[in-house]
Amino acid sequence: DAGVIQSPRHEVTEMGQEVTLRCKPISGHNSLFWYRQTMMRGLELLIYFNNNVPIDDSGMPEDRFSAKMPNASFSTLKIQPSEPRDSAVYFCASSWGEVGYTFGSGTRLTVV
């Protein structure tokens, strides 16, 4: 298995633009998580899905953030409009049962 695949690896965009981050979880994993990592706030859970259904989105910072999981093999995190304070590394992770998460390599987002 290729692991959790995220794209793009790096994204530089101008303030106000729409940004879409993509994630392909490991086949057979039924839970998917989006985290954001910054120096100031560490790793923050944004949203998590179980069997493609959003279970907890309380970590989504604002209405500018939205996430979808149209099927078991794909999820997106969208920021519209983006702001400089959204600059961070965004990680997607997947899991099955009571086992550890498998993380993707992350998307480093820079909003200028």
Contacts with other proteins by CB under 8 A lie at 4, 31, 33, 35, 42-43, 45, 48, 50, 55-56, 91, 93, 95, 98-106
Q: Closer to other proteins at the Cβ: 15 or 43? A: 43
Query: How many beta carbons lie within 10 A of that of residue 27, not counting itself?
Result: 10
- What minimum distance in Å lies between the beta carbon of 41 and other proteins? 9
Q: How far is the CB of 10 from other proteins (least distance, A)?
A: 11
Q: Are 13 and 19 in contact (CB under 8 A)?
A: yes
| Phi, psi (rounded to 5 degrees) for 107 | -120, 120
CA dist., res. 29 & res. 42, Å (int): 25
User: Cβ of residue 92: shortest distance to other proteins, in angstroms?
Assistant: 9
